[in-house]
Chain A
Amino acid sequence: MAIESDVLVVGGGLAGLTSALAAARAGADTRLVSYKQSTLRHASGLVDVLGYTPDGDGPLVDPFDAIPDLPESHPYRTVGVETVREALELFDDAAPHYRGSHTDANALLPTHGGTVKPTARYPAGASAGVASDDRDTLLVGFEAMPDFDAPQATAHLDAAGVPFGVRGATIRFPGDLRADAKITRYAKLLDTDGTVTVDGRDRPVREALAERVKAELDGEERVGFPAILGDDDAAGVRDALANDLGAAVFEVPMGPPSLPGLRLEDALFDALDDAGVSIETGNPVVDYDGDDRVEQVYVEKNGARIPNAAEQYVLATGGLVGKGVESDREGVYEPIFDCHVAHADDRYDWFADDVFGDHQFARFGVATDDSLRPEAADGSTEFENLRAAGSVLGGYDFAAEKSGGGVSIATGYAAGRRAAEETQ
């Protein structure tokens, strides 16, 4: 026997989670399996739809406007602009702490490097930091956290011509945490308003932090911190600091590991729980049975192969970084179902010499029919009950376009919903 469901989603990133949620809400008995815990903690927490065209034009004001002009092979063209909107509605419902749904226009958010990024959805904690807001800003970094250099980010923002005054200050985090303290250590301390020792006195950490920042404040109306302000009670931490400082408080999204990513993961897992999705993480899917249809897949646990069977499958295993697409000297391939991945024979053609050049590898992935089913080299359907979603799809360069989150949500939603429809 196998562990059974109507729809089986393989992959625990944004595409997989959205796909499972869409399938379950459409009434299918849904199961999600993921090699490791969700990769969302690698994500900044910003959810882009489209920031730049494939030709590099941008930043785009309205990403939805630009979708019909994308190349036909782009996943957004496969699902269509209306599906992108429906998918974002599902996301907005599942992640209520996100902002940006009030407009089609991109928001401009400062990053930890001090660049300004066009994005469609952003966490409430980042909203006071939008670059279109003209309130003067103080950025605060911590000595022991070199990932966010506030004065440098400030210089970058200045150079980008932001419409507000910005200053950067680096302070010591109260309590002198060890030099490589984890982001979870900061978050836990702030969540619980734990006690720190400052100048020999024990004090609650939120108050102590606000006091140090206050000394740097020079009339700015908002203060930006690296995204470490709490995990379970992030809103409470921000409110407490804002109250003490008499200024709005926001978080600047950071690289991995990322608390905004972790919080998004929590919100989506709660939504999956409410929708009754069965979830298993920790072991990879390695193989399948079937010919024209996938009959069952195998989850491997230390040599034991556990069969999982479903009527419909969604492949959401990620791209080259997520190992949903693999490459070696011989070629590029999709490792579970061996779906066709188009690539040049000569591996020296896979990349451009210029670091920021037009790399073929950035668009490696499976090509699909209108229903997101992967196609073989001759254009035939690989499996009638397998759909693909997220960065395992080819035909787009999410890093250059700033479209990663949006494509994952849109194709995840479309694949999950179609899979559920097929089971009824």
Chain B
Amino acid sequence: MSDSQNHQFDPAAPNTGEDFEPVDVFDDSDDFDLRPGADSCYKCSTCDTNCPVAEVDDDFPGPKFQGPEQWRLKRRDDDHSVDDSVMDCSNCMRCDNACPSGVELSQMHNTARGEYVSEEMSVFSVEYVRNRLLANYRTSAWLASKVPRLANAAANFGPARWLGEKLLGVTDEREFPDFATETFTEWWAAQGGAAGSKERAREARERRGEPVDADKQVAYFHGCYAEYNTPEVAKALVRVYEHFGYEIVVPEQGCSGTPMFANGMLDDARRDAEVNVSSFADLVDEGYDAIASCTSCSMAIRQEYPELFDIDGIDDVAANTFESVEYLRIHEDLEDELTDADVGDDLAAEFAYHAPCHARNQGLDRQAVELFGDLEGVGVEDVGDSCSGISGTYGWKAEKYETSMKIGDEMFDHMETADGETGMTECPTCAMQMEHGTGYDVRHPLELLEAAVVE
């Protein structure tokens, strides 16, 4: 018999007799308990080597400070408030992919930023108003989509941009993205919506020799950008999925919350998350999987929602949400489909591909390059693992613009030396930055997939 059995110590059972009264070492509150994360950090600093901001900005203390160190300080001293440098974190979330110890760094950053904004930032400050406007891009985009031509002209009217910088701190270096004259959902309704999709998917399954009643149903989270600015991406998704025989529904949805997390507007994010979870949870219950064409939207639903919010059905929705190309890669033989495919028109080209940071944690950073590797007439070249630097709303802020462009420099250089003169990425704001830095036209992998597999 071994010694440990002689000790007769069972760690799960209290061994102090019946009088034992457990002591609460940590106060019982509804706040996030980030102690497990802070304890798991052994300060190897690997996260710091992944931070695109710390690499160029001498004032930014990096993710290890923003996460575990800050929470340790706060635990020691109740008066310790969140350091204002948390607003310089761009929420690229690359540090998550670095930690060998599984510390939820971005969750800590999101929580710290939320606390900073609610407790340290005045709601009357220009910064707060500007950040709230940027974070709620969907609201402005919705308004603009009502009068797209006027909005396009007004947004890029020189004096208006100058005023935007002077009054709100929105950089006047960037051109605002164009609003589409027809939103994706307007187009979708004109195609007959879910009923039309069901019919087209059935025809496709018949053509492909698949069972007509096959269980191929997906719920599409298009996000704000494909709705208002690049409906061609959403349309490509619809055509590709219907080609493979999937019936698509497009449920009611708000913003994924990505820009709200990045600006510490957690109440706004929760409001939209509740809408999204409630409309997707029912569909997931019925056997639908959720797909997103924007890697930040899928990231938010898969990771940030369950990390930050407790909403009924949130874990099921997170576990059944996929990036749209990833989903096809799992369920269809894409490689086979692409072997004999050929691509005509303007998409038979060399592409300079940039992997968005939010694609990395989902394991998708090499997907497009590997998928299209053998596609006839097309070249997709990875422009390296640097961050584009715009990180959604970050690069739109006048005081962050310079940092954003310094981070982007490496990507711009690699794009210039790549063979292609067209960019490719899954992320709408990375696309803005790629275009801003090089003047290249930027396409989404779904558009190329559509050109390759849809007749």
Contacts and interface: CB of A to CB of B under 8 A. Distances in A.
Q: Do A and B bind each other?
A: yes
Contact of B49 (A3, A180, A257, A303): A257
Contacts of B302: 301-302, 304
B2 A345 contact: yes
A3 B302 CA distance: 20
A282 interface: yes
A256 B306 contact: no
Given A3-B330, A182-B48, A283 B363 contact: yes
A281 interface: yes
A349 B50 CA distance: 39
Interface string B1-22: 0111000000100000000000
Interface in A304-322: 304, 306-307, 322
Contacts of B61: 178, 180
A347 B4 contact: yes
Interface string B37-66: 000000011101111001110110110010
A348 B3 contact: yes
A295 interface: no
B181 interface: no
Interface residues of A, number: 44
Given A180-B61, A348-B3, A1 B306 contact: no
Interface residues of B, number: 46
B99 interface: yes
Contacts of A256: 44-46
Interface string A11-45: 00000000000000000000001001101011000
Nearest to B56: A188
Given A1-B333, A37-B97, A177-B58, A182 B362 contact: no
Interface stretch (B114-122, B150-158, B313-321): B313-321
A402 B86 CA distance: 41
B322 interface: yes
B330 A2 contact: yes
A262 B303 CA distance: 27
Contacts of A282: 97, 360-363, 365
Contact of B370 (A2, A177, A180, A278): A278
A1 B362 contact: no
B329 interface: yes
B416 interface: no
A81 interface: no
Given A180-B65, A346-B3, A302 B49 contact: no
Contact of A299 (B11, B48, B363): B363
Contact of B319 (A42, A302, A349): A302
A207 interface: no
Nearest to A194: B56
Contacts of B62: 180, 182
B330 A182 contact: no
A306 B330 CA distance: 7
A180 B322 CA distance: 38
B319 A303 contact: yes
Contacts of A322: 100
Given A180-B61, A348-B4, A303 B97 contact: no
Interface centre among A185, A188, A276, A301 (most CB of B within 10 A): A301
B287 to A, nearest CB: 15
B44 A42 contact: yes
Contacts of B51: 182, 184
Given A301-B362, A329-B11, A188 B55 contact: yes
B83 interface: no
A229 B56 CA distance: 16
Contacts of B49: 41, 182-184, 257, 262
Interface of B: 2-4, 11, 44-46, 48-51, 54-56, 58-59, 61-62, 65, 97-100, 302-303, 306, 315, 318-322, 329-333, 360-366, 370, 373
5 contacts: A3-B329, A182-B51, A184-B55, A282-B365, A329-B4
